[in-house]
Amino acid sequence: MDRRVTKKDDDASRTERPTLKTLAFMTGLGVTTVSRALKDAPEIGAETRRRVQLVAKQIGYRPNRAGVRLRTGKTNVISLVLNTEHELMSFVSDIIYGVTEVIADTPYHLIVTPYSRSQDPLDPVRYLVETGSADGVIISRTQPNDPRARYMLERGIPFATHGRTDMGLVHPYHDFDNYTFAGEAVRYLAGRGRNRLALVTPPVGLTYYGHTVNGFADALSEVGASEVPFNTVSIDQSIEQIRMRTAQLMRRKDRPDGFVSSAAAATLAIVAGIEDAGLELGRDVDVVSKQSSELLHLFRRELLVVNENFRLAGSELARAVLGWIGGADPGSLQSLSTPSEVLPYRG
């Protein structure tokens, strides 16, 4: 019988997926020992664990997800559910970076589950739960009475929200303190002699809309400044819409001399509208804006900024979901980021 190995056979062997048996053969250990070493089982010696994990990395070993699910009932998947029309790319990339940084040394990997404006936000969550596609879920654009959070709580699905709910139910979350952000922005503008202020808000239906509006209003009362209503604009609107309505506002006699903006993209449009009206940033009007990257001072040095760290948010959300999966109390998996000070351009 001809036992020569053909090129086809050789190519097939090279592309064959490494298995636990492959690792056992290459390390001279039993399959059970290899499996436990990959899971960092404490009964396996540290040197053995290190050797097995090194070989696994070198040969590109990955657990078979279908097999893992059959044996354990787990998918080793965390799903990040995102609205593809409203989430800006800087937000998406930073959140993903933060999540993947945390799960990199775990068996888990990340999938992004998108949905559009035409969909019910509950639809992608319901799909993930009903199909058993993920062990944990991260959602954003959180509402005070969020049906997605209630749905997952009722079904015992580990999840974390970017933003808080107001349902009286305990679950993991990470949030940015928008009440404090808006208040500090008003105080800073008042300190620069600005006393007629306009707020560019988050979308009305989201929880942090209320936090932002309340912080703005309370600080106005504290410093004795007045609000110039700008209710026709939110950060969800297009750049062109925000620019046009800002220009209209700034052509009025009772125009504001200060803005508080809830998002950097909206701030670009606000500045364009101010300049369309023939006014000068820093002389006629000041703007305090949140930003998640160091871009706004490259655009206009006169802008006043407060940093919000979306990478930190992604990391905290991933830790929260993994903690719940691991059996931690959901109430212990809640975090709130404190805003930075208002930063002028410093060269």
Q: Is 174 helix (H, G, I), strand (E, B) or coil?
A: strand
How far, in Å, CA of 28 to CA of 22, rounded? 10
Inform me whether the pLDDT recorded for 10 exceeds 50: no
pLDDT of 248: 97
**Range list of H helices, the chain:** 7-15, 20-27, 31-38, 46-59, 65-72, 89-103, 122-131, 147-155, 178-191, 207-223, 239-250, 264-276, 296-299, 310-325
Q: Could you tell me if 314 and 103 are in contact, meaning their C-beta atoms sit under 8 angstroms apart?
A: no
> Average of pLDDT values for 202-212?
97
What digits encode the pLDDT tens for the residues 33-71?
988 888 778 898 999 989 988 988 888 887 765 555 545
Inform me whether the pLDDT recorded for 112 exceeds 50: yes
Give CA angle at 303 (298, 306), nearest 5°.
95
Query: What are the b/e assignments for 52-78, b being 16+ CB within 10 Å?
Result: bbebbeeeebebeeeeeeeeeeebbbb
Residue reference for tokens 């930003």: 291
Residue reference for tokens 């808006």: 182
Give CA angle at 115 (162, 181), nearest 5°.
30
Q: Could you tell me if 260 and 200 are in contact, meaning their C-beta atoms sit under 8 angstroms apart?
A: yes
What digits encode the pLDDT tens for the residues 246-277?
999 999 999 999 999 999 999 999 999 999 99
Q: Could you tell me if 44 and 29 are in contact, meaning their C-beta atoms sit under 8 angstroms apart?
A: no
Q: Name the band, by pLDDT with cuts 50, 70 and 90, for residue 14.
A: very low
Residues 6+ apart with CB under 8 A from 224: 190, 195
Q: Amino acid identity, residue 346?
A: R
Q: Name the band, by pLDDT with cuts 50, 70 and 90, for residue 237.
A: very high
pLDDT of 18: 85
Q: Name the band, by pLDDT with cuts 50, 70 and 90, for residue 5.
A: very low
pLDDT of 300: 95
- How many DSSP H helices and E strands does the chain contain? 14, 11
Residue reference for tokens 């199909």: 131
Residue reference for tokens 């208040």: 183
